[in-house]
Amino acid sequence: MSNIVSNSGLARFWYGASIADFLATEADDILGKLARHAGDGHFADQRDAWLAQIELVHTQLKSLDGWVFFEFNIPRMGRRVDVILVLGSVIFALEFKVGETTHDRAAIEQVWDYALDLKNFHEASHNVVIAPILVATEAKALPAKFEADADNVYRPILTNSEHFRDVLELGLSVAKGSALDAQAWARASYRPTPTIIEAARSLYAQHSVEAIARFDAGAKNLHTTTKRIEELVDEARNTNQKFICFVTGVPGAGKTLVGLNIATHRRDEKAPTHAVFLSGNGPLVAVLREALTRDEYFRLKAQHQKATKKKISTPVKAFIQNVHHFRDAGLTDESPPPEHVVIFDEAQRAWNSKMTANFMKRKKGRPGFTQSEPEFLISYMDRHQDWAVIICLVGGGQEINTGEAGISAWLDAVVKHFPQWKMFISSRLNDSEYAANSSLEHAQRTTQTREEDSLHLAVSMRSFRAENVSAFVKALLDCETDSARESFAELSSRFPIVLARDLDKAKAWVRSHARGSERFGLLASSKAMRLKPHAIDIRVNVDPVHYFLNDRDDVRSSYFLEDAATEFQVQGLELDWTCVTWDADFRYNGSGWNYHDFRGSSWCNIANLDNRNYLRNAYRVLLTRARQGMVIFVPSGDDKDHTRPSAYYDKTFGYLRDLGIPVLS
């Protein structure tokens, strides 16, 4: 029965059979089936481990009724579970460490991650008991503990080869429920929502987007949007036309995933439709590049191939580029870029003409530069004599830097200077958070503009537990209290949000909720200057690579909950659990918000509307980084300190509490 496939048509495992059939099959025959799925190098490394696993499971499953699956695929993680046992009402996820005498922490997290991944993303596992077991074959005997969390995922059970059967029987005696249909379970849909780092890793390793992204009804237009853009690229090339596409989406809806998928499909530099992924988000570029480089390095080392990180990083840098480096190439060379297809992530963050002129004068020695960054980038692509496609990925309410033009600068540039370019515009670009305003009206009057529903991603996939977090945050920031209460009531059972006035308790809450390798971190506004009494100093330069990629042993990682990342370091990235710290820069006044900047030794009112908008959007970014839940820390203040009296914080705390957010006792 090893040919069972999932509902998506993807192979789910390398070998599967009823326990009766498994026990009646010779180990060499099972090994042969595993070998057909493995490359030569992989098989050589795995052969002895597989034989040891097969022999152990053979001896320990006698008289049990159920199914056994070897090398069960976990696409989001790009890995496979050594063995899955479906016994009665329980799914046992097994990780074997053959010959090991200790239960390594990384291995414990690994098997726990497998169980959590199945629980969250495998359709038939949502409501069943899942028990992760780490079998270090030569380890000392440990008392078996079956401790389940609220979602019926047990904490990892540690055992050895001698006590493996005892652990299975104890698990079956503890868990209650109806027997599972193992074949139906194995065929069920797997609908992951990967982080952008996981997605980039999988796509760069040439996995398909179908393997790593969910395609249920709520998020189906991720596929639709990708397909439509692919069609437009082909049409532009076949008809020698120039197209610019504007793709919108709520925070976390998968805009970047769409861009990376297109760039992956068209990453062959020799192909005529070669594409490049461009972002002005320096931290995002740095984190993705380093993640891909590390991933490729360890993959090659595992295959015993010679590799250096410097050599590996070269094609990675070509795949994901900083938009400013791309722009600078157009300044120094009059030729068109080598790519006919470019994807601009967070296109609304491109610079306006004032910011661009200032930069060109100071850094490039070009006084009198009159173009905005969007206008120059389009002019660079317009140098192609035949065809070109620009794909602008647009986030709503994401402008957080002075000088960011918003999407209107792109629309104005096309209408005024490049009327021959056809525009394909998301039908939701007129929503208020995209701030397209009169520029969109002018664009809609031209015959070269077409609106399309398929270019909007309506459902957030960042939070797989609750898809309306962004709606709640929008209502919260817009002071639409009834709407915010309603949204919170809908999401609170699946996406926990709590309030705290004690930072130590807030950190403890985050740590207690994170399981396996789930990543958590501390966040703060870049203007949160008076959190220093709580040992949060946003002036400390946080390296996003260390923050997002390094493990728990590294004090620079997010896990330590010491360094607070600001909106500039986390925009476009995400964590499983967040501790959002709320300072007096952004204060609720009873009916709306007051905006402040800390200068010298006092808070100053922010009068400039753009700067107010940047601060508001900073909190929008911070409040939409979590995938599974968050705690919001609002200090109590100190009336002895004129920079942070309780009055600066109490109304904000009261407002959030009155929306229904529970307070940590």
Examine the pLDDT at 119 and tell me if it is beyond 60.
yes
Do residues 191 and 121 touch, judged by C-beta distance below 8 A?
Answer: yes
C-alpha 167/C-alpha 159 separation (Å) is 7
Query: What pLDDT does 208 receive?
Result: 52
Examine the pLDDT at 451 and tell me if it is beyond 90.
yes
Sequence letter at residue 120: N
C-alpha 638/C-alpha 243 separation (Å) is 57
- pTM (predicted TM-score): 0.84
Inter-helix orientation angle 255-265/196-204, to 10°: 10
Three-class secondary structure assignment of 517-537: CCCEEEEECCCCCCCHHHCCC
Beta pairing class for 341-345 and 388-395:
parallel
Sequence letter at residue 121: F
Comparing 306-315, 422-431, 479-488, which segment has the lowest mean pLDDT? 306-315
C-alpha 98/C-alpha 61 separation (Å) is 18
Query: What pLDDT does 306 receive?
Result: 82
Per-domain residue ranges for the chain?
Answer: 13-187, 224-280+318-457, 469-658
224-280+318-457 and 469-658: identical CATH topology:
yes
Q: What is the mean pLDDT of the chain?
A: 89
**Kind plus residue range of the DSSP H or E element containing 586:** strand 586-588
What is the token pair recorded at 289? 């590049």
Beta pairing partners, 500: 633
Mapping DSSP to helix (H, G, I), strand (E, B) and coil, where does residue 424 land? strand
Helices (H), ranges, 492-636? 503-513, 544-549, 567-570, 609-623
Segment 281-291, tens digit of pLDDT: 889 999 999 99
Do residues 141 and 163 touch, judged by C-beta distance below 8 A?
Answer: yes
CA dihedral 460→463→464→466, nearest 10 degrees, is -80
C-alpha 323/C-alpha 285 separation (Å) is 10
Segment 25-44, tens digit of pLDDT: 999 999 998 988 776 555 66
133 DSSP 8-state letter:
E
Do residues 528 and 625 touch, judged by C-beta distance below 8 A?
Answer: no
Examine the pLDDT at 219 and tell me if it is beyond 70.
no
Give the residue from 504, 501, 528 showing the smallest Cα distance to 635.
501
Label residue 5 by pLDDT band (50, 70, 90). Answer: very low
Higher pLDDT among residues 83 and 459, named by residue: 83
**Protein fold of 469-658:** Rossmann fold (3.40.50)
Examine the pLDDT at 206 and tell me if it is beyond 80.
no
What is the token pair recorded at 481? 């209290």
Query: What pLDDT does 397 receive?
Result: 61
Sequence letter at residue 17: A
Do residues 456 and 255 touch, judged by C-beta distance below 8 A?
Answer: no
Comparing 2-11, 42-51, 577-586, 626-635, which segment has the lowest mean pLDDT? 2-11
224-280+318-457 — its CATH code? 3.40.50
Average pLDDT over residues 435-449: 85
Examine the pLDDT at 467 and tell me if it is beyond 80.
no
**Kind plus residue range of the DSSP H or E element containing 45:** helix 40-60
Inter-helix orientation angle 323-332/373-381, to 10°: 60
Examine the pLDDT at 260 and tell me if it is beyond 70.
yes
Comparing 63-67, 180-184, 312-316, which segment has the lowest mean pLDDT? 312-316
Comparing 163-167, 338-342, 349-353, 642-646, which segment has the lowest mean pLDDT? 349-353
Q: How many CB atoms lie within 10 A of CB 592?
A: 9
Do residues 161 and 186 touch, judged by C-beta distance below 8 A?
Answer: no
Average pLDDT over residues 501-521: 97
Comparing 109-118, 175-184, 453-462, which segment has the lowest mean pLDDT? 453-462
Q: Which residue has the tokens 């996406």?
A: 495
Label residue 464 by pLDDT band (50, 70, 90). Answer: low
Query: What pLDDT does 310 receive?
Result: 83
Q: Which residue has the tokens 């000392």?
A: 140
Helices (H), ranges, 339-372? 353-363
Segment 603-626, tens digit of pLDDT: 999 999 989 998 999 999 999 999
Query: What pLDDT does 218 receive?
Result: 39
Label residue 251 by pLDDT band (50, 70, 90). Answer: low
